[in-house]
Chain A
Amino acid sequence: MTLALLVSLMLGQGYAPQRQGLDPLEAEKEARVMRLGKQLRCAVCQGVSIADSPASMARAQLDKVRELVSENKSDEEIYAYFIERYGEWVLLQPTTGGLNSVLWLGPLALLGIGLIVIVMQSKKSAVMLPMPQTAAAAEGASPAPTSDDALLAQVRADQEK
Chain B
Amino acid sequence: MKRVGPIIALAIIGLLIFVLFKAFGNDPHEVPFLLNGKPAPNFKIKRLDTDQEVTLEQFKGRPIVLNFWATWCGPCKAEHPVLEYAWKKYEKDAVFLGIVFEDNEQNTKRFLAENGWSFPQLFDPKSTVAVDYGVSGVPETYFITKEGIIQGKVAAPFSHPMQIDARMKGILQ
In chain A between 102 and 124, which residues have their CB closer than 8 angstroms to a CB of chain B? 102-103, 106-107, 109-110, 113, 116-117, 120
Chain A residues near B71: list those with CB within 8 A.
14
Partner of A11, one of B31, B32, B72, B74: B74
Asked whether A149 is an interface residue with its Cβ less than 8 Å from the other chain, the reply is no
A 44-63 to B, binary, CB cutoff 8 A, 1 in contact else 0: 10100000000011011101
Give, as a whole number of angstroms, the nearest-CB distance from B33 to chain A: 8
The answer to whether A16 and B31 touch (CB under 8 A), given A60-B126, A110-B16, A120-B5, is no
B79 within 8 A of A: no
- Please judge, given known A-B contacts A60-B102, A102-B16, whether A12 and B127 are in contact too, CB under 8 Å: no
Q: Which residues of A contact B22 (CB under 8 A)?
A: 99
Majority SS of interface residues in chain A?
helix
14 CB < 8 A contacts A-B = A13-B74, A15-B72, A16-B102, A17-B72, A19-B104, A43-B31, A44-B31, A57-B135, A61-B131, A86-B31, A86-B32, A86-B136, A103-B20, A110-B9
Residues of B within 8 A of A117 (CB): 5, 9
Report how far A103 CA is from B141 CA in the complex, Å. Answer: 36
A60 and B74 in contact, given A17-B103, A102-B19 (Cβ under 8 angstroms): no
Cβ contact within 8 Å between A89 and B32: yes
Among A60, A67, A89, A103, the most chain B Cβ lie within 10 Å of the Cβ of A60
Cα separation A86 to B132 with both chains bound (whole Å): 10
User: Quick check: A85 and B131 within 8 Å, CB to CB?
Assistant: yes
